[in-house]
Structure 1
Amino acid sequence: MGEIADSYRRRADAFDRKVAAVRPGQWDNPSPCEKWTARDVVRHIIDMHGVILRPLGRRLTTAPTVDEDPVAAFRSARADVEAILDDPSLASTACETPTGTMTIEEHIDKVPSSDLPLHGWDLARATGQDDTIDPADVAYHWSAITGLPADLLEKFRTPGAFGPGVEVFGPEVPIGEDASPQDRLLAFIGRDPQWAPW
């Protein structure tokens, strides 16, 4: 396994623990993502796992839906992605993405893998869990996001720029200079670090 596969598994393990810890009555809780419930956060993560398979002509394996069994749905989707990461010929396949040509492995790293820590925070906040993001992921995201060209960052902040209904980042949230690295990251991508469901 390479570094990308290792990072994906670590992030997926952390997200899996959060999904498994959600109590039955919490799935309809609001989340920091406007208009999304806790269940919708997991649905989005699974949908993005499906999107990443398309350049290979693949689809997610048939599994229980997020409405039926969120844990089983996520575990099935991650298994599909891990199967690609475990196959060097598939992982190295080049594909076209909204941000340029890259390998499937790199696209996994930049989309579903990168989404896991951030949406893990959303799910944790929505359901009263520990919302600490691994410091390695905070540093990774901060470096990647603050290093984006201004025009691409603007595109990320423009609703619908990557397709109907797709919103990547919200407007930056003002935050104090003494904020933690995690809170600075969250504020930069449009999350209110003090958000609570009620």
Structure 2
Amino acid sequence: MDRALPPYRGTALPAPRCGAGPNDRRRTAADTSAEGGIVTTTGYDTRIVADENVPTIEIIREFDAEPAQVFRAHIDPDLYTQWVGPHSMSTKITRWDARTGGAWAFASESDGTEIAAFYGSFHEVRPSERIVWTFTYTGEPDGVALETVTFEKLGEQRTRLRTLSVVADFATRDGMLASGMDSGVREGYEKLDHLLTQEPTTPAVAGPATRHFADAARFTALVESASAGEWARPSPVPEWTALDIVQHLVEWSRGFLGGAGIELPALDVAVDPVTAWKRHVADIQGILDNPAGRILSNPHIGDQPVDQAIDNFYTPDVWMHTWDLAKALGREPDLDEQRCRATLEGMAPMDRMLRESGQYGPAVPVGENATAQDKLMAFIGRDPAWQPTS
């Protein structure tokens, strides 16, 4: 995805390296042997590993951003075109359906002239975790690379990105290496570094679409982690099960959007919580990515742009109920201390109004040294020490 172009053998590439087997292939001056592979180290801690025994290339890079941010930069076409490839080229997307089973196509241009074009299919798109897709250069349609991209959370605002490309043979793999792909990789990731510093780094300062994308991805990870038997477990919300939490988020928000003239089909959460939730997330994200100037009218909030209404009322509900679902499933929730602190400061002055609305129960006492997350949950009526009974 970020290699020099074109990536496969052809007239535009140097001749492939020769040799009867892996041990006969030459190495560039930048290559060093490590762990049975050929390793090229570029700037910004980028590692390119070409396995001696199988025709693969693995690219490893760390970024100062959350997995959801790095993932979005790979599947959002407006973001992807800003960083992929070397500085000397730009990317023009002609097809982009970044979902499992979707397809894509783009061309690389230099000074307005098309240099090469590529296409492929998305075999799996798992939010903030994994992308599996094929990659084909139009000039070499029989040369198909299968790429697996993973996003590993290393800590707060830190992600390790791994891209493993598998090609048909060593000659093709070596042709890619000989094309100068390390420069394209390095420069592309430098641009991605810059893009991630320009993009909001926390949901508190992001836009509606990015904020929902990040919050929904965390909730989705919990939904996907639940076994069939865990959906009946009790939750911190009185009389609600883990399944009820998902059902609540799906049903009320889809009805809420009717105020903008958006009629979404009903989803049967009880039959298949995972499929229903992921369909729901895609529906909401699609509206946020293209609000189209629609206004949502509601007797309680008046008239608001639909993306603002979702951002003000639905997305925060997803974020807070992440705590409930994590607790119900026996997981340890992490809503981000800074965001919890800011949210509590914003809600505290509305204490009386919130209680009278009936949406929150009585505040639960907590110690002065409690975490910001525990204080926020206690404020909205949750017991931070709550644990499932079964």
Is 1:87 the equivalent of 2:87? no
Q: Which of 9, 24, 28 lines up with 2:232 in the alignment?
A: 28
Is 1:133 the equivalent of 2:335? yes
Is 1:70 the equivalent of 2:277? no
Deviations, residues 27-63 of structure 1 (Å, cap 9, x unaligned) = 1111000010000011011113213311122232354
For the 8 Å contact 1:41–1:119, the answer to whether it is kept is yes
For the 8 Å contact 2:260–2:296, the answer to whether it is kept is no
How far did residue 73 of structure 1 move? 0.9
Name the count of aligned residue pairs.
185
Q: Please, which runs of 5 or more residues in structure 1 have no aligned partner?
A: 162-166
How far did residue 135 of structure 1 move? 3.2
Deviations, residues 82-102 of structure 1 (Å, cap 9, x unaligned) = 121112424x52533524442
What do you get for the CA RMSD once the two structures are aligned?
2.0
Structure with more of its chain in strand, by fraction: 2
Say which one has the larger Rg: 2
Tell me, what secondary structure is at the counterpart of 1:60?
coil
Question: Higher relative CO (CA 8 A, sep ≥ 6), structure 1 or 2?
Answer: 1
Q: Which of 291, 298, 312 lines up with 1:110 in the alignment?
A: 312
The 3 A distance-change label for structure 1 pair 84 and 147 is: farther
**TM-score, length-scaled by structure 1:** 0.84
How far did residue 147 of structure 1 move? 4.1
Q: Which of 360, 366, 373 lines up with 1:169 in the alignment?
A: 360
Distance in 1 (CA, whole Å) between partners of 2:349 and 2:352 is 13
Deviations, residues 75-132 of structure 1 (Å, cap 9, x unaligned) = 1112221121112424x52533524442221211122200112111111101111211
For the 8 Å contact 2:215–2:318, the answer to whether it is kept is yes
Distance in 1 (CA, whole Å) between partners of 2:291 and 2:314 is 19
Structure with more of its chain in helix, by fraction: 1
How far did residue 21 of structure 1 move? 0.6
What does 1:5-24 correspond to in 2, within 5 Å? Answer: 5-24=209-228
Deviations, residues 131-170 of structure 1 (Å, cap 9, x unaligned) = 111335414422331243xxxx434323xx4xxxxx4211
For the 8 Å contact 2:291–2:306, the answer to whether it is kept is no
Structure 1 stretches of at least 4 aligned residues deviating more than 3 Å after TM superposition: none
